[in-house]
Amino acid sequence: MPPLTGRRSGQPGRVSGGARSRTAGGRPAVMADVARLAGVSAQTVSRVLNDHPYVAEETRARVVAAMLELGYRRNLTARALVTRRTDTIGVIAFDTGLYGPASTLFSLEQAARERGYHVHVATVPDLSEEGFVDAVERLRGHLVSGLVVLAPQRGAVRAMAGFPGDLPAVAVEGGAAPGLTSVVVDQVGGAVQATRHLLDLGHRRIAHVAGREDWIEADARLQGWQQAMADAGLPAGPVLPGDWSARSGHEAGLALLAAGVPVTGVFVANDHMALGLVRALAEAGVDVPGDVSVVGFDDIAEAGYLRPPLTTVRQDFAEVGRRCVDRLLHLVEGPDGSPPEDALVVPATLVVRASTASPAGEPPRP
Amino acid sequence: MPPLTGRRSGQPGRVSGGARSRTAGGRPAVMADVARLAGVSAQTVSRVLNDHPYVAEETRARVVAAMLELGYRRNLTARALVTRRTDTIGVIAFDTGLYGPASTLFSLEQAARERGYHVHVATVPDLSEEGFVDAVERLRGHLVSGLVVLAPQRGAVRAMAGFPGDLPAVAVEGGAAPGLTSVVVDQVGGAVQATRHLLDLGHRRIAHVAGREDWIEADARLQGWQQAMADAGLPAGPVLPGDWSARSGHEAGLALLAAGVPVTGVFVANDHMALGLVRALAEAGVDVPGDVSVVGFDDIAEAGYLRPPLTTVRQDFAEVGRRCVDRLLHLVEGPDGSPPEDALVVPATLVVRASTASPAGEPPRP
DNA sequence: GGCGTGTGTGTTTGCGTTCACAGTGATCTC
DNA sequence: GAGATCACTGTGAACGCAAACACACACGCC
SS3 string, A20-61, reads CCCCCCCCCCCHHHHHHHHCCCHHHHHHHHCCCCCCCHHHHH
Helix, strand, coil percent content, chain A, rounded in steps of 5? 45, 15, 40
Q: Residue B188's pLDDT is what?
A: 96
| Residues with Cβ within 8 Å of residue B253, at least 6 apart in sequence | B276, B277, B278, B279, B280, B281, B284
Give the separation between CA A366 and CA B93, rounded to whole angstroms. Answer: 49
Q: Is the peptide bond before B289 cis (omega within 30 degrees of 0)?
A: yes
Q: Using CB atoms, which residue from A88, A95, A250 is nearest to B305?
A: A250
* Chain A positions in Cβ-Cβ contact with residue B245 (cut-off 8 Å): 301
Q: Do B305 and A106 touch (CB under 8 A)?
A: no
Q: Which residues touch strand D (CB under 7 A)?
A: A 2-3, 8, 27-28, 30-32, 42-43, 45-46, 49-50, 74-75, 78-79, 81-83; B 39-44, 47, 53-59, 78, 81-82, 84
**Residues spanned by CATH 1.10.260.40 within chain B?**
1-74
The C-alpha of B319 sits at a distance from chain A's nearest C-alpha, in angstroms, of: 14
Give the separation between CA B14 and CA A21, rounded to whole angstroms. Answer: 54
Q: How far is CA B15 from CA A339, B32, B161, in A?
A: 34, 14, 57
Q: Using CB atoms, which residue from A95, A103, A276 is nearest to B305?
A: A276
Architecture in CATH of B84-185+317-346: 3-Layer(aba) Sandwich (3.40)
| Residue from A107, A120, A142 whose CB has the most chain B CBs within 10 Å, to mutate | A142
What residue type is B9 in one-letter code?
Answer: S
Give the separation between CA B205 and CA B229, rounded to whole angstroms. Answer: 9
| pTM to 2 decimal places | 0.85
Give the separation between CA A336 and CA A342, rounded to whole angstroms. Answer: 16
The C-alpha of A49 sits at a distance from chain B's nearest C-alpha, in angstroms, of: 14
Output DSSP code: residue B38.
H
What backbone torsions phi and psi does residue A172 show, to the nearest 5 degrees? -95, 125
Please check whether residue A119 touches B, CB under 8 A: yes
B189-246: pLDDT as tens digits: 999 999 999 999 999 999 999 999 989 999 999 999 999 999 999 998 899 999 999 9
Give the separation between CA B177 and CA B46, rounded to whole angstroms. Answer: 42
Architecture in CATH of B187-315: 3-Layer(aba) Sandwich (3.40)
Output DSSP code: residue B178.
T
* Chain B positions in Cβ-Cβ contact with residue A305 (cut-off 8 Å): 246-247, 249-250, 272, 275-276, 279
Q: How far is CA A183 from CA A117, A203, A317, A333, A346, in A?
A: 19, 33, 11, 18, 7
Please check whether residue A64 touches B, CB under 8 A: no
Please check whether residue B123 touches A, CB under 8 A: yes
Q: Do B76 and A105 touch (CB under 8 A)?
A: no
Per-residue pLDDT of chain A (366 residues; tens, 9 = 90+): 222 222 222 222 222 223 334 555 567 899 999 999 999 999 999 999 998 888 899 999 999 999 999 999 999 999 999 999 899 999 999 867 677 888 889 899 999 999 999 999 999 888 778 888 888 888 998 999 999 998 888 877 777 766 766 788 888 887 655 667 889 999 999 999 999 999 999 999 999 999 999 899 999 999 999 999 999 999 988 999 999 999 999 999 999 999 988 899 999 999 999 999 999 999 999 999 999 999 999 999 899 999 999 999 999 988 999 999 999 998 887 655 555 566 789 999 999 999 999 998 666 555
Give the separation between CA A235 and CA A307, rounded to whole angstroms. Answer: 30
Q: Which of these, A266, A249, A303, A282, lies nearest to B308 by C-alpha position?
A: A282
Between CA B158 and C1' C12 the distance (Å) reads 48
Chain C nucleotides covered by protein, CB below 7 Å: 7-12, 14-20
Q: How far is CA B220 from CA B103, B153, B237, B320, in A?
A: 21, 12, 17, 17
* Chain B positions in Cβ-Cβ contact with residue A125 (cut-off 8 Å): 110
Cα atoms in the 13 Å half-sphere on the side-chain side of B157: 19
Q: Residue A13's pLDDT is what?
A: 23
The C-alpha of A6 sits at a distance from chain B's nearest C-alpha, in angstroms, of: 19
- A44: nt with nearest C1' to CA: C9
Q: Are strands B146-150 and B88-94 parallel, antiparallel or unpaired?
A: parallel
Q: What angle do CA A196, A200, A205 make, to 5 degrees?
A: 75
The residues that bridge with A281 in the sheet, in sequence order, are: none
Give the separation between CA A252 and CA A294, rounded to whole angstroms. Answer: 13
The nearest alpha carbon in chain A to B271 belongs to: A302
CB count in 10 Å sphere of residue A78: 17
- CA Rg, chain B, in Å? 28
B15-63: pLDDT as tens digits: 233 333 455 556 889 999 999 999 999 999 999 999 998 899 999 999 9
Pair B322, B105: CB distance under 8 Å: no
Pair A45, A55: CB distance under 8 Å: no
Q: Which residues touch strand C (CB under 7 A)?
A: A 39-44, 47, 53-56, 58-60, 78, 81-82, 84; B 2-3, 8, 27-28, 30-32, 42-43, 45-46, 49-50, 74-75, 78-79, 81-83
Architecture in CATH of B1-74: Orthogonal Bundle (1.10)
**Residues spanned by CATH 3.40.50.2300 within chain A?**
84-185+317-346, 187-315
Please check whether residue B126 touches A, CB under 8 A: no
What residue type is B152 in one-letter code?
Answer: P
Q: Do A137 and B73 touch (CB under 8 A)?
A: yes
